[in-house]
Amino acid sequence: MEFADEWNNSDFDCLDSAKKLVGSVARLCLEAWKMEEAINIRLKHTLAFLIGAIIAAAILRHVGHVYGGFSRQELRTYALFAIPAATLAFYFAQRRGT
């Protein structure tokens, strides 16, 4: 009977240590998963924005070329002129908001 008591006590101590180790590893994995999920959401939003911007630019270029009658060089020139204008508009909109 003594052997059974010793075996049970030592086995439970080992199991308690293992449970603590598994619990801490599980918490660490859960925190890592949450951080990865947050990064994935930001990456998905960024990629969706970039794809949307590319599609919008392609549609505008197509409409300007086909229906507006602008040549490729004219569209390129207008786009280069629009970059500083859009940058200034964004800058002033940000300043006005704060």
DSSP string, 38-65: HHHHHHHHHHHHHHHHHHHHHHHHHHHH
Q: Does the structure show a pLDDT above 80 at 13?
A: no
As a whole number, mean pLDDT of residues 88-96 equals: 89
Question: What is the number of residues in the chain?
Answer: 98
The DSSP code sequence of 58-77 is HHHHHHHHHTS---HHHHHH
pLDDT at 12: 60
**What does the pLDDT read at residue 77?**
92
Among 6-10, 19-23, 39-43, 56-60, which is the least confidently predicted range?
6-10
Start-to-end CA distance of the chain, whole Å, equals 78
Cβ partners under 8 Å of residue 71, min gap 6 = 65
Q: Distance between CA 59 and CA 48 in Å, rounded? A: 16
Taking only the tens place, the pLDDT of each residue in 33-86 is 787 777 888 888 898 999 999 999 899 889 998 999 999 899 999 989 999 999
